[in-house]
Amino acid sequence: MIFETAEEFAAALPRHGALAGLDFGTKTIGVAVSDGLRSVATPLETVIRKKFTLDAARLLEIAQGRTVAGFVLGLPRNMDGSEGPRAQSTRAFARNLSRLTEIPIVYWDERLSTVAAERALLESDHSRKRRGELIDAVAAGYILQGLLDRLGYMARS
């Protein structure tokens, strides 16, 4: 099932269990996972895209191995909030993935997540090559952490 809001997504989740953040791109999918208590996002890996069935199989393999309770998929909106072709592609990917699993999926606005990830990698003094290898997983971490922070805020309110 796919959710548009964090509130709907939270209602569909079990009380505990890791979440996986996905930064869906044209060539790669950055993956990050949270701890079971959903407080910290950790970049995990970058999946090199091949075709949907192989990409989905790898994501579901990660989900099973990490006991993932939900997917957080970065939705690339334009700076004015509108959605372009990349957002439509992301939504299509989510629809196809949701047909293969019962794991709930939520969209999270990913504007500037890659910029923040790039800054963090620059500050940690990684080489250009190493930054290229890590950027998508780190961006997925920023996407996931944004939702984790929102869920934490909702729980305290």
DSSP for the chain, written as a single string: -EESSHHHHHHHS-SS-EEEEEEE-SSEEEEEEE-TTS--EEEEEEEEP--HHHHHHHHHHHHHHTTEEEEEEEE-B-TTS-B-HHHHHHHHHHHHHHTT--S-EEEEE-TTHHHHHHHHHHHTT--HHHHHHHHHHHHHHHHHHHHHHHHHHHHH-
Residues 122-151: what's their mean pLDDT? Answer: 77
Q: Give the pLDDT band of residue 121 (cuts 50, 70, 90).
A: low
In a domain, 114, yes or no: yes
In a domain, 138, yes or no: yes
In a domain, 7, yes or no: yes
The predicted-structure confidence for 49-67, as pLDDT tens digits, reads as follows 999 999 999 999 999 999 9
| Exposed/middle/buried for residue 131 (C-beta within 10 Å: 0-12, 13-18, 19+) | middle
In a domain, 110, yes or no: yes
Task: Give 62 or 131, the one with higher predicted confidence.
Answer: 62
Number of domains in the chain: 1
In a domain, 146, yes or no: yes
Per-residue model confidence (pLDDT) at position 84: 84
In a domain, 39, yes or no: no
Residue 26: phi and psi, rounded to 5, are -75, -30
Beta bridge partners of 21: 32, 72
Q: Give the pLDDT band of residue 83 (cuts 50, 70, 90).
A: confident
In a domain, 38, yes or no: no
Q: Which two tokens stand for residue 20?
A: 């996986």
Residues 122-140: what's their mean pLDDT? Answer: 67
User: What integer best gives the mean pLDDT of the chain?
Assistant: 88
CA angle, residues 94, 99, 101, in degrees to nearest 5: 90
Q: Is 105:94 a contact under the CB 8 Å cutoff?
A: yes
Each residue of 67-99: b (16+ CB within 10 Å) or e?
ebbbbbbbbbbeeeeeeeebbeebbebbeebee
Per-residue model confidence (pLDDT) at position 116: 62
> Is the pLDDT assigned to residue 134 strictly greater than 80?
no
Residue 135 sits in a domain of what CATH number? 3.30.420.140
The predicted-structure confidence for 84-114, as pLDDT tens digits, reads as follows 888 999 999 999 999 999 999 999 988 666 6
| Structural domain boundaries enclosing 126 | 2-33+48-155
Please give the biggest Cα pair distance in the chain. 43
Q: Give the pLDDT band of residue 154 (cuts 50, 70, 90).
A: confident
